[in-house]
Amino acid sequence: MRVIKAKNFAKKTMFVLIVVFSINIQAQEKPTDFLKDYFLVGAFGQYTNNLKGNVVKEDPTVNFEVASYITPQFGVVVNVYQTQHFNFKTGLIIKPKVDKFNYNFTKEQTGADHDVSYWASSSGDDNMWSVPLIAEYIVPISKRVKWMIAPSFTMSFYQFFGGYGIEGFGPPPTAKITETDDDRSEQWFHTSAEISTGFYFLFKHFMLQPEFRYSKSFNTLKSGSYVTENYRTEPSSSTGTFTQSGDYWGVSLTVYIKKKRKK
């Protein structure tokens, strides 16, 4: 009888321990639970260093370059769903689109009394509207600091009207270079993948998320050709082509406001 009672007691004790252990696990804070204390929507801002383009030259003495440039980006991001270490988010980001070209010519090429170094930059209403799909993996460092790493996929939409530009140098007949965009400008979609890493810093009334990121494009953002004419050196004209991928490095900051606790 004592053996049977001992077995029953052991079973009951084990059952109680399992229940207590299960309740304790459920009560433990998940790595992403801190996000519930803040509003789901955050204000997003970023500076990006857009990488220079690739130029294929018929005449290597003609120095035509699609230069790198820095642009701001801004918008909102939304925390959609959290589970354990993962936070899934999306948003809407506006990316102003800029073109920047460098020209460097010798005085022998243009007939001028000095070498020419020139750059041209253009921007317009052809902003890119981007929707990112982000999966963050969050690791708590302390109560107020969380580390994160996030791969993401971005779809961008824009209407960029192709055009051309003419720049002249030197005395008549003026040496000139003409840049022309090709049919790539008529495409409305641009896709890219990003990888970013950074931290969540939790404060009393708000939360900051600085990140460092790299974006790799799946298709060409811009391409075209250029023609030089009336050069004083031979050949007196030449052509070349260029592409710009849309790849960039960026530094961003997202700000979240903390919810007011109900009394």
Instruction: Give yes or no for a contact between 72 and 45, defined as CB atoms under 8 angstroms apart.
Output: yes
What's the one-letter identity of residue 81? Y
User: What phi and psi, each to the nearest 5 degrees, are found at residue 97?
Assistant: -105, 130
Instruction: Give yes or no for a contact between 156 and 194, defined as CB atoms under 8 angstroms apart.
Output: no
HSE toward the beta carbon, residue 101, CA cutoff 13 A: 24
DSSP tag of 244: E
Q: What is the pLDDT of residue 219?
A: 87
Neighbours of 252 (CB within 10 A): 20
Q: What is the pLDDT of residue 260?
A: 84
- How confident is the prediction for the chain on average, in pLDDT? 83
Read off the tokens for 253.
Answer: 């900051």
Q: What is the DSSP string of 80-119?
A: EEEETTEEEEEEEEEE--EEEEEEEE-HHHH-SSS-EEEE
Q: Could you check whether the bond before residue 235 is cis, i.e. omega within 30 degrees of 0?
A: yes
Q: How far is CA 234 from CA 44, 56, 62, 171, in A?
A: 52, 19, 11, 17
HSE toward the beta carbon, residue 42, CA cutoff 13 A: 25
Q: What is the pLDDT of residue 157?
A: 87
Neighbours of 107 (CB within 10 A): 14
Q: Is the pLDDT of residue 177 over 70?
A: yes
Q: Of 29, 81, 43, 79, give the one whose Cα is nearest residue 252.
A: 43
pLDDT tens-digit map of 94-148: 988 777 888 888 888 888 888 887 777 766 556 889 999 999 999 999 999 999 9
Cα 91 to Cα 103: distance, rounded to the nearest angstrom: 38
Cα 87 to Cα 151: distance, rounded to the nearest angstrom: 11
Cα 80 to Cα 156: distance, rounded to the nearest angstrom: 20
Neighbours of 62 (CB within 10 A): 23
Cα 254 to Cα 45: distance, rounded to the nearest angstrom: 6
Q: What is the pLDDT of residue 26?
A: 43
Q: Is the pLDDT of residue 173 over 70?
A: yes
Q: What is the pLDDT of residue 185?
A: 53
Comparing 23 with 159, the larger pLDDT belongs to 159
Residue 161, helix vs strand vs coil: coil
Using alpha carbons only, what angle is made at residue 65 by residues 60 and 70, rounded to the nearest 5 degrees?
160
DSSP tag of 135: E
